[in-house]
Amino acid sequence: VTGIDTELTDIFRDEAAERLDQMETALLAVESGDAGAESVDSLFRNAHTIKGAAGMLGLDDVRALAHAVEDVLEGVRRTKAFPPEVAAPLLRATTMLRAQVAGEHQPIDELLHDLAASLSKLSDGAARAAGAGVPPARAPEAEPAAEPARVLAAEPAAEVQRTPEPAPGPAAERAAEPARVLAAEPAAEAQRTPQPAPVPAEPAAEPARVPAPESAAEPARVREPEPAAEPARVPAVEPAPEAQRAPEAAPHRSDGGKAPLGAPGPKTELRQLRVPAEKIDRLIDVVGEVMQYRGRLAHSLGGHARLPQDVADVLGSGEQMLDELKDTAIGMRTLPLSVITRRLPLAVRDLARAAGKDVEFAVTGADTEIDRVILESLYEPLAHMLRNAVIHGIESAAERERAGKPSRGRLEIRAMPRGSLVEIVVADDGRGVSPEVIERARDEGSLADVLAHPGYSTAAEVTDLAGRGVGLDAVRSYARSVGGNLEIRSEPGHGMEIILLLPLALALLEVLLFERGQAVYGVPMVVVEEIVEVAQTLRLEDRPALEVRGRPLPVADVAALVGAVAPPLSGRSPALVVSAAGRRAVAICDAVLGQEEVVVKPLSPLFGAIEGYLGTAVLGDGRIALLVEPTVLAPRSRRPAGLTSAPDPVPATATATATAPKVLVVEDSFTVRELQRSILEAAGYPVVTARDGREALGVLDRNPDIELVVTDLEMPELDGLGLTRAIRADPARSSLPVVIITSRASEDDQRRGIEAGADAYMSKQGFDQQALLATVERLIGR
Amino acid sequence: VSVYVRLRVASEDYAMPVEHVLQVAPHGDVTAVPGSRPQMLGVRNMRGQILPVVDLALLLRVPRTAPPTRLLVAEAGSRQAGFAIDQVSEVGELADPTEETDSDLLVGAALVGGDLIGIIDVTRVFAALEQVPQ
């Protein structure tokens, strides 16, 4: 077992424990007769996600058991009745799942039989109630049982041969369960006692949480295994009670309980703690404040050189400790995505084999750092999307060949930071959605609205692996619960891209702080090339410009760029030379305050869909700095602004995104296509793509607002030259700019490209994104 | 009958259920956030926490002649905001709202000694702010 496996298993164990808690709470409510229809959905979703993750981790028993639980719940859904006695075997199943998840391998066959028996009782009951002579549940019931045999050859026989049998002793089981759940409360409380160092000044909003010290002495007793019917399967650390009481209502709170769970057994109890995320947030806040304090102290003392040696030594070691504290605090929150993606290639391979598909899988941007709380809860949704792609998205080799695609399907995860968000894309080149779905999306708003609608499934059949109608809606509600969102792009026959947008979370950021009109702004230090003084500006193409190291760069007033009102700039003002999204620009301010590491706090959601801000930060003197996205200071195209003109009340970013022309990228290589897409999108152009010339013509028909085409030369179906000629032959598009990018870069090729009507011809060799952007801007820039 | 914080917004009286109110503070320095909607006055440093500040008068369409002087810090769900107001008159019980109002940001209005007091629906106010497009 590798470290990654252990880490993943820990994460899974933690998540499963939380889900099992929720399931048990719901099942107990069913047993006591006060559960709504909603609880069936949440039970189903929980069982489904446990099953999915277990499948990817190769925990066959857990998966089989969760699947059987799903079957019963499916029966409940179908018969629209949840008799209390059905809860008992389900509770036994959650108990067994808990044990299995904790690594205790016990035979599950008997339990599987019991669950099957419950299911058939349910179905028979429904049949009797309906007064029908024919057992209606036969066909649907046979399906899930038969599927695994087809999909997974190495299926445990028990699952295939599930036969109805009466459940033994449900009453005894039922009696034992509530006692344990109640016991979880004091246990959880005790577990909260050993906490990180006391945090000063808890925010007023925090409910007073005074841990009862006496309960600390009791956990061992509380956790002692209960009646013999329940083997030692109680996990070492119970989840925080918040999670049990309001699992859905307060995302941050329930997320808070997701630190890795310790191995079972009282001995390791204190090795790992579950700490609410807000405590770590507060810790990082305090670290940030202490760092500001250190800055002020150093400043008031006037630098180390003037200090007596002993004072300097003490200060020096204090700084070292503070740096370590900072790194540790940050380390508590962020991890690279690779922590959860390293195991995925193997999992996808296994999944593809089981499904009889040939799939190539790649992860890019795995070094993207993500808040740990988000990362730990991300595996499930990612695994879910990959499963969907393999099972439903990517076609069989034969079907792909018939469709003119490479027989090997391609599945990819791409991660990249996007402003204050991290974007994670799961892309496949499979069959995509049907034209009817596209049609519905047009009516309902977006593909995400259709596909992530509760109860929707892209595949009609029910398989062991996925597709039970709890797919994307679970993923979307997950994304939204952490403050993100989900978008879907797809075209019939051409695969699907699911885009998860997740918050970057708070972190310390090195920024350059500057002032303009009383307000303080900050921009990430990494994009600032230098600071210059502006005495006078040139005009270039009727826009103000400044010569920096021999090159004229566009210049603008920071106030105009962000859309703030400010008094006129003085004669000699400092300015930042900023490089962002492939552009360089100069932004003039009143004063540069200096470099500082700040704690980034996202703008409140009450600001709505405001753009252009990474967040805000509290400075040492109590002022608030607005942290702007680099592209605000280096916008794509700039209207006249700056030293003499009046401030523009419209924020620069809003203008840039609202009017940016749409670009069509035509390229059969996935990687090149996505590279070009990302370059163009980063520069603010909306991008649509096509995989060959023929498809491109269709895309052009559907998108009359495309203002430029970037195309490859060699492509299946219709090549770049053919596409260019077809565009030129259409009177409506005769002036649509076409840029050809190709690996064939001889003069002869270039001549043929230009003859076909291309406006520019670029080589893939030594491909230069600046050159691409410059060409695009030249052709359609305003 | 529930307990409310009664407050004055320019020339009008409103009330907010006390369970939503965290504190009342001086208006203080509010940093404007360029590009935001006019209802958002900006952000304020409240003991190290950054609090969004909402122009309650603009939201409720009460004409304002003088700048607001106080902030009522309120909470609903996981959201917090400071609402710019002029005065907190009292905290006490109030009859349930009996009068209907046009604004969907109000639960209704209560008639107290001839005065009409609008009862603010804090959850709706937050939801409305989050949903309104830029």
Q: Which residue has the tokens 């995104």?
A: A657
Q: What is the pLDDT of residue A131?
A: 54
Distance from CA of A608 to the nearest CA of B (A): 5
Report which listed range, A116-120, A271-275, A656-660, B81-85, is most confident. Answer: B81-85
Average pLDDT over residues A763-775: 73
Residues contacting A273, CB < 8 A, separation 6+: A191, A194, A195, A237, A259
Q: Which amino acid is at A135?
A: P
Are A183 and A191 contacting, i.e. CB atoms less than 8 angstroms apart?
Answer: no
- CA B103 vs CA A183, B34, B64, B87, B106: distances in Å: 48, 27, 18, 22, 6
pLDDT tens for A715-759 read 877 888 899 999 988 887 888 889 988 766 677 777 788 888 888
Confidence of residue A429 (pLDDT cuts 50, 70, 90): very high
Distance CA B8, CA B86 (A): 6
Q: Percentage of residues in chain A with pLDDT exceeding 90?
A: 11
The tens digit of pLDDT for each residue in B33-49 reads 999 988 999 999 987 77
pLDDT at A412: 94
Model confidence at A212, pLDDT cuts 50, 70, 90, reads: very low
Say what the pLDDT of residue A714 is: 80
For residue A487, name the pLDDT band (cuts at 50, 70, 90): confident
Q: How far is A532 from chain B (nearest CA, A)?
A: 25
Q: pLDDT grade, residue A483 (50/70/90)?
A: low
pLDDT for res A641: 35
Nearest to A698 by CA among A393, A410, A435: A435
Average pLDDT of the segment spanning A446-450: 73
> Where residue A781 falls among pLDDT bands split at 50, 70, 90?
low
CA–CA distance, A508 with A285 (Å, rounded to integer): 9
| A616 contacts in chain B (CB < 8 Å) | 31, 43, 50
Structure tokens at B57: 């008068």
Rounded CA-CA distance A210/A566 in Å is: 49
Residues of B in contact with A519 (CB under 8 A): 31-32
Host H or E run for residue A670 = helix A670-682
Torsional class of B48: left (φ above 0), alpha (ψ -120 to 50), beta (otherwise): left
pLDDT at A218: 35
Residue A616 to residue B49: CA distance in whole angstroms: 10
Of A428, A429, A441, A424, which Cα lies nearest the Cα of A485? A424
Nearest to B54 among A601, A606, A622 (CB): A606
Burial per residue of A438-457, b for 16 or more beta-carbon CB atoms within 10 angstroms, e otherwise:
bebbeeeeebbebbbeeebb
More confident: A453 or A246? A453
Q: Which amino acid is at B69?
A: T
Q: Which two tokens stand for residue A295?
A: 């800055």
Mean pLDDT of the region A343-369:
85
A608 vs B: CB within 8 A: yes
**pLDDT at residue A765, rounded to an integer:** 61
Alpha-carbon distance of A745 to A316, in angstroms, equals 59
Nearest C-alpha in B relative to A481: B78
Taking 60 as the threshold, does the pLDDT of residue A224 lie above it?
Answer: no
What's the average model confidence in pLDDT over A671-678?
72
Residues A195, A201, A203, A204, CA torsion sign: positive
The pLDDT mean for chain B works out to 89
**3-state secondary structure (DSSP) of residue A51:** helix
Lowest mean pLDDT among A30-44, A317-331, A347-361: A30-44
Residue of A nearest to B126 (CA): A606
Which residue, A552, A629, A553, A545, is CA-closest to A584?
Answer: A553
Q: What is the pLDDT of residues A451-480, one digit of tens each?
A: 766 555 444 433 333 333 346 777 876 776
Q: A503 to chain B: which residues are within 8 Å by CB?
A: none
- For A533, residues 6+ apart whose C-beta sits below 8 A from its C-beta are A572, A573, A574, A575
| Nearest-by-CA chain B residue for A654 | B35
User: CB-CB: which of B33, B48, B51 is closest to A289?
Assistant: B48
What percent of chain A is modeled with pLDDT above 70?
66
Q: Point out the residue among A204, A285, A654 whose CB comes nearest to the CB of B23.
A: A204
Q: Looking at residue A207, what is its pLDDT? A: 38
Q: Compute the average pLDDT of residues A703-724.
A: 87
Query: Of A161-165, A368-372, B20-24, where does mean pLDDT reach its minimum?
Result: A161-165
pLDDT confidence of residue A414: 93
Selected residue with higher pLDDT from A562 and A735: A562
Nearest residue in A to B20, CA atom: A205
* Predicted confidence (pLDDT) at residue A143 exceeds the cutoff of 90: no
Question: Which distant-in-sequence residues (6+ apart) come within 8 Å of A419 by Cβ?
Answer: A614, A629
C-alpha torsion sign, points A238, A239, A240, A241: negative
Between A16-20, A225-229, A445-449, A541-545, the lowest mean confidence (pLDDT) is in A225-229
Q: Which pLDDT does position A244 carry in this prediction?
A: 37
- What is the pTM assigned to this prediction? 0.43
The three-point CA angle A370-A374-A376 to 5° equals 100
Structure tokens at A254: 């329930």
pLDDT above 80 for A587: yes
Choice among A372-386, A705-719, B12-26 with the minimum mean pLDDT = A372-386
3-state helix/strand/coil string of A160-179: HCCCCCCCCCHHHHHHHHHH
Question: How many pairs of residues across A and B have Cβ atoms under 8 Å apart?
Answer: 92
Q: What is the mean pLDDT of chain A?
A: 71
- Better-scored residue on pLDDT, A417 or A241: A417
Which of A221-225, A269-273, A659-663, A756-760 bottoms out in mean pLDDT, i.e. has the lowest? Answer: A221-225
Chain B residues whose C-beta sits inside 8 Å of any chain A C-beta: 22-23, 29, 31-37, 40, 43-45, 47-52, 54, 75, 77-81, 126, 129-134
Nearest CA in chain B to A606: B130
